[in-house]
Structures are given as structure tokens and as C-alpha cells.
Chain A
Amino acid sequence: MKSYEALRTAPNPDHAVVRGPGEVEVHLHVNGESRTAIIEPRVSLLDALRDRLELTGTKKGCNQGACGACTVWVDGRRVLSCLTLAITCENREVTTIEALSEGDTLHPMQQAFLDCDAFQCGYCTPGQIMSAVALLAEGHVGDDTEIGEWMSGNICRCAAYPHIRAAIRRVRDEGGPGDASR
């Protein structure tokens, strides 16, 4: 049995660094760029993106993990930025909807959403698209039932669901890229 008394007092450069609760410098890597934000540790990745880094493509629908509008990728995996604290993303790669198209050329999933009219108000759409592209990489796109289940973490109140599935089918069948690396 180890003794934790020693550890508690031993100088440990990593765990000794207690940051906050006031504002601290947080170094993020977003869409291939280094970005620094002066924020409190309690700031979510979502609010950091939207309110501090002017990346408003990621949306806030519930702030409780219940809608999926805030979906981004952290280290290439789709996650909810509203339940992620920004400070936990240091040393990780954050990717948002803004990084998806290459210049003027839409990502095939963006083009498919546009062509299939897979949205109406468009507010859930960045989250849907980030989810859909990740889903292709995850591979659960066999049939519509599977796509429906694996896209159920993204609520669309306009209920564009059948068209969202159609867009994903199209990219799947065209063998489109399954990640942002195109």
C-alpha cells in the first residue's frame, strides 16, 4: 500500500499547478491554429469558441448536453463543447465547422446538406454536419436505421431528419471523405 501523505506534500510540478478560479491564459489549438484565451477555468469550450474566439459556427441550444448543437471534434472525435471546459482542451486539437470547407469548396457533407435541403433554420446544422462527418469515419452508416440511431444525438427541431439521412447516404455512396482531412 502506497502512502499518499508523501505525495500530497511532495512538489509535483504538474499537479501543483492549480489555475484559477480567476482568469488564466489558456492555450488552445483550434482548426490548426494556436489560439490563446484569457478565461476562467469554468468557461466551456463552447463559450470560449463563440464568445472569445469569434468562432460562432458552433451553436448553443441547451448548454446541458441534450441537443447536440454544440458538437465539435476534440482530437478527431465528436463531442459536446457545452459540457467540455475549454481549459481541459489544452494539448488537444479542436476542430469546428469553420474548418470543414477548403476555401470556397464545401466539404462533400456540407454540399450534400445543401443539395438535400437537410436543414431549415440552420441552427442545428453545424452540429449535424460535424456529427455526420464523424459518423462516416466511425462507420455506422449501413442503413437508415443505423444512421438514424447514430445521428440521434443531434436534435433538429425543424425536423429535417429524413433529409439529413439522405445527405449522409449520398456522401456514403459517393465514397466521400470521412474526416476533415478531406
Chain B
Amino acid sequence: MSPAIGATLNRVDGRFKVRGESRYSAEVPVPNLTHAVVVNAKIASGRITAIDTSEAERAEGVLAVLTHRNLSPVATVPKLLPSLAGLAAPGQSFFPMQDETIHYAGQPVAIVVADTIERADHAGTLIRFEYAPTPATTLLDQARDQAYVPERIFGGLLPGHASRGDVAKALAEAEVCVDTTYRFAPNHHNPIEPSASTAVWEDADRLTVYDSTQGPNSVQFTLAELLGLPPISIRVVSHAVGGSFGSKAMVWHHPALAALAARHVGRPVRLVLTREQMFTSCGHREEQEQRITLAAGADGRITALRHHKLSLTSPFDDWAEPSLQSPSVAYTSPNYEGIYHLVRGNTITPTFTRAPGEATGMFALECAMDELAERIGVDPLELRLRNYSATDPESGKPWSSSGLTECYQRAAELFGWHGRDPRPRSRREGQWLIGTGMASALYPVTQPVNPQRARARLYNDGTAVVEAGVSEFGTGVFTAMTQVAADGLGIPVERVRFVGGSSDLPNVTAAVGSAGTSAVGSAVHLATTQLRDELIRRAVADDHSPLRGADPAAVQVRDGKMVLRDRPDVGETYADLMHRTFMPDVEVLGTWNPPPQDAGYGVHTFGAQMAEVAVDADLGVVRVRRMVGVFAPGRVLNRKTAHSQLMGGMLWGLGQALLEATRMDPRMGRWANASLGDYLVPVNADAPDVVVDTIEVHDEVVNPLGMKGVGEIGVVGVAAAIANAVHHATGRRQYELPITLEKLL
């Protein structure tokens, strides 16, 4: 039996998905169901002065019209805390509909419950609001002068500023200096499944919520605080989630609103956000600006990096995507200064968006690196190699594993990087200017804080069910866990069923920051290997077992049979042992305690990105022709699904580079393109074939299986590689994302 880990197994939930049988959260059949629609504030700042709900209440089929006046208030409003922490994880330290104040456009101001979705929606438009608006800030440009440096960001998990060495001195002494500022349009995740919650009260203190979330347990804990109920009263189920990309990583208002509405009408309530509401209800990548100052010697060796970031955050939280982390350790730089600046505006608190922080931070750094390479006349790849840091430049500690130089090498081979003519505009094919560019990719390995648990139960027919509270939103985690469990137990994957997607199951952290698979994978690995060891122990202790008296360490399991390592003919199956000893099943709860974040190593995932673009010389249209990404994500559990995630990430980078921008109308304080017709994401014709490869690195530090994660690293660096390629093609540097054609006319 060859190991299941690393094999290219088809997704275990794939059959259901291609048949349309997977039940996403808005699709679970519930008797006596009603439909809720949220009504949102149209102003960005001010107060509600009057509400008239009479017409809405009279409309056919309407069961309730709830506003801050009659909605039962929440018990407590927990503070923002990233869901990785394993506790209540609200997306912002604010809960709407508690009073008449409006802090941002799109803030929920009413909920209508009716017997059909059409009736609820229409009744929502019949509510009359009067507002007293006050001036709103919705763009950085409106309030730059009010920027401040927060003590900490990111729910208090990260410092607002950091430094090492003497940057000012290094800058003054620099032989070469690159000093540039990059601007980033806000981005929205836009998973194709809009967020949905279906709330069912079995009785006054038993609530089940079917919710589209990255972390059923986070939703459970958050609802417990908001509703003032103990966690035992709340069950959160997430059978299948239609993509998230960060929009479902934190717990936003809709599950609690659905629960409150359901309690009010005494019937189950389904609340599905509209596509437009997806732009104002679950965070976004904030509008931001980053200034990079690179000081280097004439040989290109970096002597200082200064990285300042300015973000537009909400009235409630000091939020910025952590863009400074990876750039601060990407290269040897003895002197460093990183500072976050925030401006408060009238917006929902921004949130994680795929490759949160790195997608923008590494864009800024890697574009500046390209500029530096050009200035000193060195190949961009060579410049990276010259500045490669074999240890974490921040702490001086060794990397738990790296593989970066191998990634560069392999990417260069696959792409055909060497022999590149560095001169801009040196290649032309008819109307198309052709250019190539590259970038490094780094993403921190984030560890959960709380213990990660999984349960494994083996039945006496040799099949096993393995459970953990993780949800499947496209990462392939159910498939990978099936493989981990199969190897842990020594049985074929067909005999394993992995069950996830419920807060009733052993607690694992929300699957965020690329940490989901490794967190739950570690727990599954421990649960299944402990279960295996338990059965081996029983076998060697059993007088009737052929393994009686054997050293447990000398026993291994293959295809469900425990055998002596050096005499595979001696042994018995799990099933034989269990039948003989009257065991219907055996069960083990595996607990993995994540190592502390500062365990004596620098922990990061590394990769290299390369892209070739064609730019229409007259019309400015940019098309990406091909991309190569090589990554060192540690152990790859399933080559097929991991490859898909990396590929998807790289195409996300393409969208970030060329298309994606949410545009704010500051007069109204509202997004002006809150639809999938107007917020452009790549379509099939935009997406070239992508070459993805991985470099095997062994990592004994991060977790028992040596996994570092593939969810985000694929995005990092792509936009920079594309921007650098655009420069190579046209000779024009790009300082603003997305790179739309007017910037190249």
C-alpha cells in the first residue's frame, strides 16, 4: 500500500459537487422556513431620525419588520479578534441595529421577515427612513492629515511599528536609493456563493445555524457572546461553503441577525446576502498606500528598508492588513523600519483578503526591487539571490525550512528566464509589446493558539470515521484529511470517511491564514496514529494475537493489517483483533498543541513567480500570456488539490494586478460598482494556463507533518511579477493597482 499523503486523489466531496448535490448553507431543507432580507443604510454617517414601517408591515406575507426599535439587543459586542485565535471572532467591534447611529453606508438598519424571499425583498423597499446625515470620510485623500500610528493592529495581535538598526543613517550613506509609493484600490472577495445563514431555534436555548463560514466554532463562540447564551446552546453547521477568500473568515452580522429574527418570528429564518450586500457586509481589502524606501550598495546589497503603510480603517477598529511582515524578512537588511498609519473613515472594518497583507506588501517591495535591479544594471533574479537571507533577518534565527533559492532556480528553468534581454521594449510581436517579470513570494506560517483536536473512530470492519470541526470551502481539506487519516491508520482511503463542518465536532481553529489544513491535519495525524498505536498495544498484549509479546515499535500497519516490520507474514488485521476481543469500535481524541510562535526559528513559506505579458502598444490592453509559480510549501498532502489552490491563487494575483478595484463615491460614501458586472474579476478567457511546481522541503518545526500551507502563497508576488513585466514590455513603471489600460495609453 503506497502512502495516501502526496497522492493525487480526486476530491472526496467532488462527486456531490459535480452532481449539484452538496448542500450549501442556503440549501439545507428546513421545514416551516421563512426568509429574511436585510435593509442597509444609504448614508455613510449620521442618524436615523424617523422610520415608518407601516406599509412594509401590511405587505402580503410579511411576518416581521425589525429595526433598532424592536430588535432585541445583543448581550455583548465582542472585540475584533482574528479567528485564528480560536475564540469569538467578530469582523468588527461593533454590532448594528442597537441604536439610531449610522457609521457607514451599508450598515444594517432593518430586517424584514416574510414567507417568501420575493415578498421580504419587496417589503424591505417599503420601509421609509429619514436620516440626519453628517459629513463622512470614505477616502484616504479626505483625511490624510488625520493619520495616526496605532500601537497595535489586527485585533491587537501585531505591533503598529517595528524597527531594527539605524535606517536614517543607512539611507544617508546609501549608494543607491529607490523611494517609491504604491497605491492600491480596495478589493472585495466576491466568492461566488454569497454569505448565508439559516437559523433554527429548536427551543428557547437551543439554536442551530447553517452558516457559510471558514470556522463553525468561531461562529458558535461569537453567537454565544452576542446572544448571551452558553456555547452548549449553539450548534453551527457548515456542510459546504462556496468559496470565501477571507470574506467568511471572521464572523459578521448576518448569523446573529438571522438568529434574532428567527427568535422574533418563532420560525426558522434564512438570510442570504445579495451580491450587492457582499460589498458592505463582510469586510474588504482596505484602500491603502505604501511607501518603500530601499537603500543599497552599488552591488545591489540592501542596507536599509523603510516601509510605511497608510490604510483607511473603520471607526471601531485599528485595522490594517499586515503588509509589513513578510517584506521585513524577505531579504537581508540590517536596517529596517516599518510603520502602519491609519485614517479613520466611515466604513465597515476591513478584513482579511486572500494573502492578507502580503498581496500588497510584497507587491510594493518586489516592484521596488525591480527598479533597483534596473538602476544598478543587475538581472532581477540575480539581485534577489544577492540579497537572499539564510536566516530570519529580523531575529537572526534559522528558517525552519526555506527552499527559496531552489524555487528561483526551478522557476527560471520552467519559464526560460535566463538569457532575458533586460532592456524595456526589446521584444515586439506585431502590435504587442512583450515583457517578462518576476517576484519573490513569502507568506508567514501562522500557528493557531488553542489546541487543535480531531477524533478518530475505527470500527471492527476496518473502516474509520474521522471528525473535526473544520469546514470545506474549496481548499480540499476533507480530501487531504482523508489521506492523512488513511496513512495514520494504515488503511486505504476508501475505508476512511472524514466528517467536518460542525461545531459539534472536535474544536479546530477557523481555517484561515493558510493554517487550516496544517492545524486540522496535525490533529488528525495525532488522532489516527494514536488510535493505531492503541490497537497495536492491545494486539501485542493479547494472548490470542499472532503479535502477542511483540515490541509495539516493531509493528506496522499496512492495508489494515498489523504486521511485524521485518516479518510481514506475521500479524493480524484490526478487524480480526476487534472481533475477537468484542470491540465494536475504538476511538481516540487527538490533540495537537501548536508550538509557540517564537520557537527559535523563522517560519515562512517561500516561492518565486514569473510572468510574461503582452501589452497592446497603442491601446494599452494588458494580457498575461503565461505564468510560472514555484513554491516550497512544506509537505504537500494532495498534489492535485494543492496545485489547484496555488493555480487559483496565481490567477487571483492576475485579477489584483489588472482588474480588481472597488470604487468609492465620496459624495455618497458608497461603493459605485458593487456588482459582479462592475467589479471585474478574471473570466475564463483572461486566465492563461499556469505552470505550478513545488520544491520539497522538510520542516520538523512547524507541525508533525511539516505542512506550511498553499492557500495564500500562490497570490503573493504575482501582481508584482506582472507589473514588472509590464515595465519590461513598455518601459513604464506601475505605481497603482489595478493596472488598467488608461495607465498605458
Direct contact of A and B (CB under 8 A): yes
Tell me the chain A residues, 114-170 only, with Cβ under 8 Å from chain B: 114-115, 117, 119-126, 129, 144-145, 147-149, 151-165
A36 to chain B: which residues have CB within 8 Å? none
Contact A117 B242 (CB under 8 A): no
Is B476 an interface residue when CB atoms closer than 8 A count as contact? yes
Is A62 an interface residue when CB atoms closer than 8 A count as contact? yes
Knowing A61-B676, A157-B190, A162-B690, the reply to whether A98 touches B648 (Cβ < 8 A) is: no
Is A81 an interface residue when CB atoms closer than 8 A count as contact? no
Tell me the chain B residues, 39-54 only, with Cβ under 8 Å from chain A: none
Q: Which of A62, A117, A154 contacts B11, CB < 8 Å?
A: A117
Beta-carbon nearest neighbor of B639 in chain A:
A117
Beta-carbon nearest neighbor of A114 in chain B:
B14
* Distance, CA A160 to CA B692, complexed state (A): 13
* Contact code string A36-69 (vs B, CB < 8 Å = 1, else 0): 0000101100010011001011111111111101
Is A113 an interface residue when CB atoms closer than 8 A count as contact? yes
Contact B647 A162 (CB under 8 A): yes
Is A106 an interface residue when CB atoms closer than 8 A count as contact? yes
* Distance, CA A101 to CA B21, complexed state (A): 12
A97 to chain B: which residues have CB within 8 Å? 19-20
Contact B644 A64 (CB under 8 A): no
Stretch of B23-31, B130-138, B523-531, B538-546 with 4 or more beta carbons under 8 angstroms from chain A: B23-31
Q: Which of B60, B118, B652 contacts A43, CB < 8 Å?
A: B118
B29 to chain A: which residues have CB within 8 Å? 54
Question: Is chain B's binding surface mostly helix, strand, loop or mixed?
Answer: loop
Greatest chain B CB density within 10 A among A54, A121, A160, A162 is at A121
Stretch of B252-260, B427-435, B614-622, B677-685 with 4 or more beta carbons under 8 angstroms from chain A: B677-685
A65 to chain B: which residues have CB within 8 Å? 677
Knowing A67-B676, A157-B192, the reply to whether A114 touches B242 (Cβ < 8 A) is: no
Is B217 an interface residue when CB atoms closer than 8 A count as contact? no
Contact A47 B243 (CB under 8 A): no
* Distance, CA A60 to CA B491, complexed state (A): 39
A165 to chain B: which residues have CB within 8 Å? 684, 689
* Distance, CA A154 to CA B52, complexed state (A): 41
Distance in Å from the Cβ of A162 to the closest Cβ of chain B?
Answer: 5
* Distance, CA A50 to CA B272, complexed state (A): 13
* Contact code string B1-25 (vs A, CB < 8 Å = 1, else 0): 0000000001101111111111110
Beta-carbon nearest neighbor of B20 in chain A:
A57
Knowing A154-B684, A162-B687, A162-B690, the reply to whether A123 touches B19 (Cβ < 8 A) is: no
Is B191 an interface residue when CB atoms closer than 8 A count as contact? yes
Contact B18 A114 (CB under 8 A): yes
A56 to chain B: which residues have CB within 8 Å? 20, 23-24, 27
Contact B685 A121 (CB under 8 A): no
Contact B192 A101 (CB under 8 A): no
Q: Which of B22, B676, B690 contacts A155, CB < 8 Å?
A: B676
A61 to chain B: which residues have CB within 8 Å? 192-194, 275, 676
Contact B243 A66 (CB under 8 A): no
Distance in Å from the Cβ of A62 to the closest Cβ of chain B?
Answer: 4
Is B446 an interface residue when CB atoms closer than 8 A count as contact? no
* Distance, CA A114 to CA B476, complexed state (A): 12
Is B641 an interface residue when CB atoms closer than 8 A count as contact? yes
Contact A121 B243 (CB under 8 A): yes
Contact B676 A120 (CB under 8 A): no
Is A100 an interface residue when CB atoms closer than 8 A count as contact? yes
A129 to chain B: which residues have CB within 8 Å? 18
Contact B685 A148 (CB under 8 A): yes
Is B474 an interface residue when CB atoms closer than 8 A count as contact? yes
Contact B677 A66 (CB under 8 A): yes
* Contact code string B189-203 (vs A, CB < 8 Å = 1, else 0): 111111000000000
A145 to chain B: which residues have CB within 8 Å? 685
Q: Give the number of residue pairs across the A-B interface with Cβ within 8 Å.
A: 181
Distance in Å from the Cβ of A174 to the closest Cβ of chain B?
Answer: 17
Greatest chain A CB density within 10 A among B11, B13, B23, B644 is at B644
Is B425 an interface residue when CB atoms closer than 8 A count as contact? no
Is B675 an interface residue when CB atoms closer than 8 A count as contact? yes
Contact B243 A64 (CB under 8 A): no
* Distance, CA A158 to CA B189, complexed state (A): 11
Knowing A121-B242, A123-B243, the reply to whether A47 touches B681 (Cβ < 8 A) is: no
Interface residues of A toward B: which range?
A: 35 or more
Contact B275 A63 (CB under 8 A): yes
Q: Which of B275, B640, B684 contacts A148, CB < 8 Å?
A: B684
Beta-carbon nearest neighbor of B638 in chain A:
A117
Contact B117 A47 (CB under 8 A): yes
Contact B19 A59 (CB under 8 A): no
* Distance, CA A97 to CA B18, complexed state (A): 8
Knowing A123-B192, A159-B682, the reply to whether A59 touches B18 (Cβ < 8 A) is: no
Contact B274 A63 (CB under 8 A): yes
Greatest chain A CB density within 10 A among B18, B27, B189, B190 is at B18
Knowing A58-B20, A64-B676, A110-B19, the reply to whether A158 touches B648 (Cβ < 8 A) is: yes
Contact A120 B474 (CB under 8 A): yes
* Distance, CA A59 to CA B13, complexed state (A): 17
Contact B242 A59 (CB under 8 A): yes
Distance in Å from the Cβ of A95 to the closest Cβ of chain B?
Answer: 12
Beta-carbon nearest neighbor of B691 in chain A:
A162
Interface residues of B toward A: which range?
A: 35 or more
Distance in Å from the Cβ of A1 to the closest Cβ of chain B?
Answer: 41
Is B475 an interface residue when CB atoms closer than 8 A count as contact? yes
Distance in Å from the Cβ of A51 to the closest Cβ of chain B?
Answer: 7
Beta-carbon nearest neighbor of B270 in chain A:
A51
Is B473 an interface residue when CB atoms closer than 8 A count as contact? yes
* Distance, CA A147 to CA B243, complexed state (A): 24
Distance in Å from the Cβ of A171 to the closest Cβ of chain B?
Answer: 13
Knowing A57-B20, A106-B15, A157-B243, the reply to whether A51 touches B117 (Cβ < 8 A) is: yes
A159 to chain B: which residues have CB within 8 Å? 647-648, 651-652, 655, 682, 687
Distance in Å from the Cβ of A15 to the closest Cβ of chain B?
Answer: 25
Distance in Å from the Cβ of B14 to the closest Cβ of chain A?
Answer: 5
Contact B687 A62 (CB under 8 A): no
Is B574 an interface residue when CB atoms closer than 8 A count as contact? no
Contact B640 A117 (CB under 8 A): yes
Q: Which of A98, A110, A123 contacts B24, CB < 8 Å?
A: A123
A152 to chain B: which residues have CB within 8 Å? 683-685
* Contact code string A86-105 (vs B, CB < 8 Å = 1, else 0): 00000000001110110000
Distance in Å from the Cβ of B616 to the closest Cβ of chain A?
Answer: 16
Contact B17 A122 (CB under 8 A): yes
B644 to chain A: which residues have CB within 8 Å? 117, 120, 158, 160, 163
* Distance, CA A98 to CA B645, complexed state (A): 27
Contact A106 B18 (CB under 8 A): yes
* Contact code string B372-389 (vs A, CB < 8 Å = 1, else 0): 000000000000000000
B690 to chain A: which residues have CB within 8 Å? 162
Contact A115 B192 (CB under 8 A): no
* Distance, CA A22 to CA B698, complexed state (A): 66
Distance in Å from the Cβ of B628 to the closest Cβ of chain A?
Answer: 13
Contact A148 B681 (CB under 8 A): no
Knowing A124-B192, A159-B652, the reply to whether A100 touches B647 (Cβ < 8 A) is: no
Beta-carbon nearest neighbor of A125 in chain B:
B17
Distance in Å from the Cβ of B703 to the closest Cβ of chain A?
Answer: 23
Contact A122 B240 (CB under 8 A): yes
Contact B684 A98 (CB under 8 A): no
Contact A120 B10 (CB under 8 A): no
Tell me the chain B residues, 485-543 only, with Cβ under 8 Å from chain A: none
Is B112 an interface residue when CB atoms closer than 8 A count as contact? no
A124 to chain B: which residues have CB within 8 Å? 192, 242
* Distance, CA A163 to CA B652, complexed state (A): 15
Is B737 an interface residue when CB atoms closer than 8 A count as contact? no
* Distance, CA A100 to CA B15, complexed state (A): 12
27 contacts between A and B (CB under 8 A): A57-B20, A59-B193, A61-B193, A67-B192, A110-B18, A114-B10, A117-B11, A117-B14, A121-B243, A122-B16, A122-B18, A123-B192, A123-B193, A124-B192, A126-B20, A145-B685, A148-B687, A151-B684, A157-B191, A157-B192, A157-B681, A158-B644, A160-B644, A160-B647, A161-B682, A161-B684, A162-B647
Q: Which 5 A-B pairs have the closest CB atoms?
A: A57-B20, A123-B242, A121-B474, A122-B17, A120-B474
